[in-house]
Amino acid sequence: MEKQNLKKPANPIQLRSLGWVDEELAMIQDQYSATLSAINFPCYTQSSSKTKDYQVVVDGKDYGMVREINCGNRFEYRALMADGDYIEPVSDIFHTSAIDAVCELARRHHDKEFASQLTDYVIAVSQVQELASAQLRKNTKDLLSEHFRTTDVHHSGQGER
């Protein structure tokens, strides 16, 4: 029986750790803690089996509701005024986080400073997520490249003695 060379490659790839993501998100959370702690969702009503309406209170003031819609593999959020009317989002699409819908409510209540702080928070978190996603893609690409490189060497017989 042939003996296979199972040594590790001479130049193993170096995957970058994603531990920095938790640190960055914690710093963002700390930076915006006063803004985020101003938001309360004191109660909700179950509108249907897939829909919940959460009351939004910011610094003691009722801002309306955020409707959470369960779409199976994801959730969508809509801002609702106290009378139940939808607020059309600036982007013209459903929100992917409750914070985005709260931001719509803040704009409707002419609380521009609070809406701006929430927007900055969402942008900061999104940037970290995009950087982490790019790093994961690079790590995956490096792993696949290394796998196929070592597989090609092994199958071509160059790795055997």
Is 40 within a domain? yes
Confidence of residue 8 (pLDDT cuts 50, 70, 90): low
Looking at the chain, how many residues does it have? 161
Mean pLDDT, residues 9-20: 66
Rounded CA gap, 134 and 67, in Å?
31
Find tokens 């702080």 and name the residue: 117
Cβ atoms < 10 Å from Cβ of 80:
21
Residue 115 lies in a domain: yes
Assess if residue 104 is contained within a domain: yes
Query: What pLDDT does 1 receive?
Result: 52
Structure confidence by residue, pLDDT tens digits, 98-139: 999 999 999 999 999 999 999 999 999 999 999 999 988 988
Owning domain of residue 78: 19-156
Residue 14 in domain? no
Amino acid at 2: E
CA 57 and chain centroid, separation:
23
Residue 9 lies in a domain: no
pLDDT for 7 equals 52
Distances from the Cα of 127 to the Cα of 54, 97, 123, angstroms: 27, 15, 6
Q: Is residue 6 part of a domain?
A: no
Q: How many domains does the chain have?
A: 1
Give tens-digit pLDDT for 52-106.
999 999 999 999 999 999 999 999 999 998 888 888 877 767 788 999 999 999 9
pLDDT, residue 151, reads 62
Q: By C-alpha distance, which of 8, 3, 12, 11 is closest to 161?
A: 3
